[in-house]
Structure 1
Amino acid sequence: MNGSQPATDLTTVLAGDHRRLDRLCTELELGQGSPENRKDLADHLIAEVVRHAVAEESFVDGEGDLAEADGLMRELEGVGPQETRFERLLGGLIRAVRRHVREEGPEAVRQVRLTCSPERRAELGKEVTAARDAAATLPHPDLSDRMPQADQLWPGPGFVDRARAALRHAAGSPG
């Protein structure tokens, strides 16, 4: 072996999540696209944050930036893109996600490295990846035309809870 971590090592999975979340935040901060496209992209960010939170929740204190993001995501569920509070809530979500990526995320990766053997990290990474593949998720708006609608978990009231429950169910843990 060349000393690099396998693609399914949990630390690699979590670090990849952080990069993906950061890119989505940047895309939203650019402010391009119609309000409906921004709403779709915000829903995609929410889906990615939920997926990441479920994967990371065993290693991070739940009272941090992801808990703040969770409250903002729940508020955003029922807000239309033309409503004045949409951009305010979205900005708060982006700030919470960025703080997590910058501060809590690296600590979570460090905790995984400290508490899990390389074999266990590989096992956990495979479990997280399998759970994500088994649970329906919301694609990036640019990919929505490439995925059958029946396979997508559409947003709306209760979306955060439904996504979290689907991911936990796919992982075989209680919701």
Structure 2
Amino acid sequence: MGHGGNVISELTADHREVDALFARIEEQPVGDERRRELADELTVELVRHSVAEEQYLYPAVRRYVDDGDDMADKEIEDHAAVERLLKDLEGRAADEPAFDDLVAKLRYQVTAHVRDEEDRLFPLLAAACSPAALDELGDRIRRAKKTAPTRPHPSAPDTPPADKILAPGAGLVDRARDLVTGRKH
């Protein structure tokens, strides 16, 4: 992740990347270890994306969009549900019966969240912000994804300022853990 452009272009490109990862998981035979590897890639992308949105997108929505507090709260609740699913999926082998069920639930949750952002939140943000503000948000999102955690942390703070303080440290620990375990990110 790190595509360039304003915040809406950046996050929409992330959404398409996640869609493609779900499709790649589903292309693999049931129980195949490649499904586990792809689920790990998906987890990395979803966690980085979520952390960046929570640090920068949702505060901007609260500031610029009418009823932005309610919208941001709903999106953060969606993230929490996804993160709990990711945490449950994290320790599962691809040949466990619960693995495919969790991937299906995850895809359903993520698809609904993406649709809501792209159909409702992004147009409202685009109408409320200048192109320069949207570009700056895109830059901040890209920077945040570089230091964000790569594993789910459901109990971590998801609102500023605590999320901006703790996420880079968790990201550093996660990347060290990924290096030791050989997990790709």
Q: Percent identity?
A: 32
Unaligned stretches of 5+ residues in structure 2: 62-71, 167-185
Residue 86 of structure 1 deviates from its aligned partner by 1.0
Q: Deviations over 1:48-83 (max 9, x none)?
A: 11122123231442223x332111101111212222
Which has the higher mean CA deviation after the structures are superposed, 22-31 or 100-109?
Answer: 100-109
Counterpart residue identity of residue 9, structure 2: T
Residue 114 of structure 1 deviates from its aligned partner by 3.1
Q: Which residue matches 1:173?
A: 164
1:92 to 79, 84, 105: 105
Q: Which residue matches 2:65?
A: none
1:63 aligns with 2:54: no
Equivalence map 1:18-57=2 (5 Å): 18-32=15-29, 35-57=32-54
Distance in 2 (CA, whole Å) between partners of 1:55 and 1:136 is 10
Q: Which residue matches 1:132?
A: 145
Q: Deviations over 1:72-97 (max 9, x none)?
A: 10111121222211111111111111
Residue pair 2:31, 2:96 contacting (<8 A) in 1 also: no
Q: Which residue matches 1:151?
A: none
Distance in 2 (CA, whole Å) between partners of 1:87 and 1:96 is 14
Residue pair 2:51, 2:144 contacting (<8 A) in 1 also: no
Unaligned stretches of 5+ residues in structure 1: 1-5, 138-158
TM-score of the two chains, using structure 2 as the length reference: 0.65
More helix by percentage: 2
Q: Which residue matches 1:7?
A: 4
Q: Which residue matches 1:78?
A: 91
Counterpart residue identity of residue 94, structure 2: P
Residue 34 of structure 1 deviates from its aligned partner by 6.2
Counterpart residue identity of residue 31, structure 1: Q
TM-score of the two chains, using structure 1 as the length reference: 0.68
Equivalence map 1:134-153=2 (5 Å): 134-135=147-148
1:115 aligns with 2:128: yes
